[in-house]
Structure 1
């Protein structure tokens, strides 16, 4: 006897086409995000298996036999191994899970296989968080897990209905969220061991590198990729002080500037002397390819996990591929003190003797004074008055870059001006170096924080002056002061491909609804990253100490009471009598029993439907046919997996037509 259309299993115990379609759709949604970071061959292999399963729903004979499935398994494992040179690690492990899920779809013989596929799909869904941790991805995974859980509900339903299964699955997830939240907050956090960094995502990330060429920063000017966000405890520093210090470039080979390895650098015995207002802030770094932390120039206080090297740049001992948050204090007014002989030699290094044109220019700028400050002032005026231009698309300068820029092109990006400025000062025997980092940032009025993106990348110069130490000079301010005072308008700059500047801070009254919505969403994402994704061991320890939990015994009590309390509340909610929610099948059956009592049928509370039917037919043989039909439909609805959606309506109609 064939199964009814609503059944989830046929007479041979095989999943019905309805269940297979539902399960295949949920698995397709689960695996879809992996298409953006898995090798095309692997995601293509899964897609082939998935399509094969869909086609075989109506044509079961198309499924591979045992030998074919074994060959496909070997091919899948070999493909996963060849794409990742192994089967261990994040990428290889995820690829293996996805391949196994696709292969298992072709081997479904009963309920057990459905369970295996669903549980494996949950694992594949969890691996997505190894690649992306945004709130949108979390909501998406929550949605598809609801659909996946609805597959299990459908699998175990007597009369499956898609909408009802989804509603049941959503209810189960909502009921589990409080317990999940308690475990997230209280359960001890596990940090990844450092050796696992070797298996981290090594895909190239855009950003500054330890090599600076005249046009390299210009390549970042059209990137809206987020680098870090900063929330100040009080007032923001003025726009002209928003310099976020990164790598320092000291070695010049004639075409590119490179950062000298700290391993070969002599430490300066003098420590910076800070004076003036200090700014306290929380800095959240996005995943980077370098272990650099871009602090406001110059950092004066920072957590133990950070180190300020001899170039006054902050570096971290954490995995740079992870998002991290730091509490930092910076003072824009400082004196770095003296300079040691090795540092002086490094800051005067040139690849060769300056040309005659360079020497003549320096003689013209220096005049009769030997003061470094006077030469610097004259040089900045030279950039301002001699028709130099600021552009994102300077013409190539393959040879004699500094001379070509100074005497021929006279158009460039910040790195052109900073490197030419430092070269001229070194040629004049004044210690100088190039500093890379970011300048400015876009202020989010909703969340009250600055967003710094790759388009804010910048280069400036540092000059050592007797009695002052290393002093910042930004030649770009002499050419395009609006770049420093107003900041980069990232959206317009990307859209136009040309330099665009606008005020960093926005008046909330002047924001358009689109800008307001964008800032609102950016604030939601910031809070999500800060309070959920960045909830690590240190943050948990601080929270637990505030709650008075200072040992594992107290933590165990809190976990037991919290989980037990929520579980008890949920049990009371589910098990307490609820007269408003009655089974319509039982309600109809009770109505049937009431009519039989009126007809004189005697039966007890322990009599089953079949016994009741036999007694009723003996008392009222004229109603025997109707009674048999009513009992048969009730048994099918209550106890058999072959019930149809319309059976309840049939039962109510039969009972309504029963006249006693």
Structure 2
């Protein structure tokens, strides 16, 4: 026969509920950035209602109201149209269910159920954010939640002692958790089990380019990828990270060419750059490699425009090893490629033709025309800006002859257009340029603010050659470690200019130190998949699952043995005050032949003593009751301790 769950004492209800509800509030709080405000607001309403119910129990809802609230919760979930499966739908459901369950706390088993549900909600946070700060935060709030379970089971309302116990339990469990993390076989989930929530848009480069499209990213500090070089880091002028190549234009918009050609492997010379890319989650399957990528392995492939793409899910962080060469020759151009690289939306205007003629684009070698055009950008009144004026009609002509203010996309598109007017094959390349060197970890960080567009021109006996017209007008945009806008964001105002000051240098060092910690956390913890595990364990001679399992069992057994020895065979601690006082009582009795036997209970010993000393039975009962209340009871005060001292002191045999 199953016994009914035992209700808690009223004195303990308030303390434990405050502790538990506070922990649940801390657990759900970070989800405010990930779930709709309606779901979060509904949960906050239920949590606040339950908090009020601690002191106003008659305000708690009855069964009918709880039923109506459940219907409201279902309506709130349905209004989000997240379906039945997936990360967001599951998270919303668990948070709503947790809030509703808070209003049904009646027995201890309800506290256990709510605690276990709260652990699931805490774990769901890692589906959205996996930073080291979030991991530390979730570990902290889980310790608080574990402390509530300690309070319930130990029958004590001393929250600080419960927190200490919870921390000790967590620290003891960490070695086994680390061993399981490193050695337990990591199995990738089947694709049919992956429910991706892609409704959250990500900013970044597009597969097309219009005037001003890249300048929108110029003020974004969002990280795109990080790069760790095996050797020397290339200088800023060679840090061109290749992305989509755009060949077709309608006069305003540039897109990728529709044709496909066999990929001709470039002839590379010089020393290679070997590096590891850590890509952040993105919408596209593009991998931004240093020009010109030649050494890579699956799942990476290279398309006809020498851009790297991956066959893996780009929506998760991934690491790739790539080798690139700064000196290369792509060889001859095919007829279809030539046609795509000289395409124009229509007959150029007379102004355009006149400008090309003035720069000897029709009657000189391509190299000479390129140099004259770059000099034209440099000498004439052209300006580089992140906020160019709007050019809706004929953007190339408006930029060249009217505004003369533009971002890298304006210079690249105008340059390529003029090359094509002179019948020189050219195309626009988009990607990222530069990157900030983290001197603490010796790696590069590339952010959306590094988005860039440049040109490629096909030259006889040289193949596709990179030409960056932006460098002619704004060389500081290329030859820099950190752009002007980031200096503005982190700099100090001095005199009439915004220049880096001591505070900026201190903030930069602190930011780079933290970025290095986060980089290693992402590489060695978050990105520790089956491939990384295999590579790591193979260095220790663990090359198959059978050996891995043997090692895992051996390591866990060793850790368990050490913990058991520490817990069971450590030197006995000195007795606490309560036990010391009671031992004085036992010492008085032992002098008269009344010795407490090993393993004899306190009450059994008291009954035996009362038989020998019946006239002092009342004092023995009082003393024993106070000791039991102090030693094993749920509620004890300092007055009880003083009373025990007095009773033992006055006791005479």
Normalised to the residue count of structure 2, the TM-score between the two structures is 0.93
What aligned pairs does 1:626-641 form with structure 2 within 5 A after superposition? Answer: 626-641=619-634
Deviation at 1:638, TM superposition (A): 3.9
The alpha-carbon distance between structure 1 residues 196 and 645, as it changes in their structure 2 partners (threshold 3 A), is farther
The alpha-carbon distance between structure 1 residues 342 and 648, as it changes in their structure 2 partners (threshold 3 A), is farther
SS in 1 for 2:270: coil
SS in 1 for 2:556: helix
CA distance in 2, matches of 1:408, 1:570: 77
Deviation at 1:109, TM superposition (A): 1.6
2:70 aligned residue: 73
CA distance in 1, matches of 2:305, 2:362: 33
1:549 aligned residue: 542
CA distance in 2, matches of 1:383, 1:265: 32
Deviation at 1:367, TM superposition (A): 6.2
- Are 1:206 and 2:203 matched, yes or no? yes
Deviation at 1:615, TM superposition (A): 4.4
CA distance in 2, matches of 1:448, 1:633: 65
Could you give the per-residue CA deviations for residues 60-108 of structure 1, whole angstroms, max 9, x where no partner exists? 2222222222222232123223313322110000110101111111111
What aligned pairs does 1:271-350 form with structure 2 within 5 A after superposition? Answer: 271-350=265-344
CA distance in 1, matches of 2:194, 2:209: 26
1:598 aligned residue: 591
1:5 aligned residue: none
SS in 1 for 2:206: coil
CA distance in 1, matches of 2:314, 2:127: 15
What aligned pairs does 1:328-477 form with structure 2 within 5 A after superposition? Answer: 328-366=322-360, 369-477=363-471
Deviation at 1:159, TM superposition (A): 2.8
- Are 1:216 and 2:213 matched, yes or no? yes
2:119 paired residue among 115, 122, 133: 122
CA distance in 2, matches of 1:337, 1:108: 75
CA distance in 2, matches of 1:620, 1:641: 30
Deviation at 1:550, TM superposition (A): 2.2
1:492 aligned residue: 487
Deviation at 1:119, TM superposition (A): 0.5
1:266 aligned residue: 260
SS in 1 for 2:429: strand
CA distance in 1, matches of 2:198, 2:138: 21
Deviation at 1:269, TM superposition (A): 4.9
- Are 1:567 and 2:564 matched, yes or no? no
CA distance in 1, matches of 2:269, 2:539: 34
The alpha-carbon distance between structure 1 residues 447 and 577, as it changes in their structure 2 partners (threshold 3 A), is closer
SS in 2 for 1:459: strand
- Are 1:537 and 2:534 matched, yes or no? no
CA distance in 1, matches of 2:254, 2:583: 88
SS in 2 for 1:246: strand
1:524 aligned residue: 517
Moved more, 406-415 or 546-555: 546-555
Deviation at 1:654, TM superposition (A): 2.9
Deviation at 1:636, TM superposition (A): 2.4
SS in 2 for 1:199: coil
SS in 2 for 1:50: helix
1:163 paired residue among 130, 144, 160: 160
RMSD: 2.5
* Larger relative contact order (Cα-Cα within 8 Å, sequence gap ≥ 6): 1
Contact kept, 8 Å, 1:80 with 1:87, in 2: the verdict is no
CA distance in 2, matches of 1:493, 1:577: 59
CA distance in 1, matches of 2:355, 2:255: 26
CA distance in 1, matches of 2:521, 2:371: 47
Contact kept, 8 Å, 2:409 with 2:453, in 1: the verdict is yes
CA distance in 1, matches of 2:362, 2:608: 126
CA distance in 1, matches of 2:374, 2:621: 102
Moved more, 341-350 or 485-494: 485-494
SS in 2 for 1:288: coil
CA distance in 1, matches of 2:342, 2:193: 41
2:3 aligned residue: none
- Are 1:16 and 2:10 matched, yes or no? no
- Are 1:253 and 2:250 matched, yes or no? yes
CA distance in 2, matches of 1:629, 1:198: 65
CA distance in 2, matches of 1:659, 1:374: 115
Moved more, 216-225 or 586-595: 586-595
Could you give the per-residue CA deviations for residues 461-520 of structure 1, whole angstroms, max 9, x where no partner exists? 011112111110000111011111124245224479x9x9999xx9xx998333222211
Could you give the per-residue CA deviations for residues 223-267 of structure 1, whole angstroms, max 9, x where no partner exists? 11111111111111122111011111112122211223xxx4322
Normalised to the residue count of structure 1, the TM-score between the two structures is 0.92
Contact kept, 8 Å, 1:223 with 1:494, in 2: the verdict is no
The alpha-carbon distance between structure 1 residues 428 and 268, as it changes in their structure 2 partners (threshold 3 A), is farther
Contact kept, 8 Å, 1:9 with 1:15, in 2: the verdict is no
Contact kept, 8 Å, 1:482 with 1:501, in 2: the verdict is no
Contact kept, 8 Å, 1:365 with 1:379, in 2: the verdict is yes
SS in 2 for 1:470: strand
The alpha-carbon distance between structure 1 residues 494 and 251, as it changes in their structure 2 partners (threshold 3 A), is farther
The alpha-carbon distance between structure 1 residues 603 and 475, as it changes in their structure 2 partners (threshold 3 A), is closer
The alpha-carbon distance between structure 1 residues 407 and 561, as it changes in their structure 2 partners (threshold 3 A), is same
CA distance in 2, matches of 1:658, 1:384: 103
The alpha-carbon distance between structure 1 residues 501 and 440, as it changes in their structure 2 partners (threshold 3 A), is farther
CA distance in 2, matches of 1:538, 1:653: 69
CA distance in 1, matches of 2:9, 2:268: 82
SS in 1 for 2:80: helix
1:48 paired residue among 37, 40, 45: 45
The alpha-carbon distance between structure 1 residues 617 and 234, as it changes in their structure 2 partners (threshold 3 A), is same
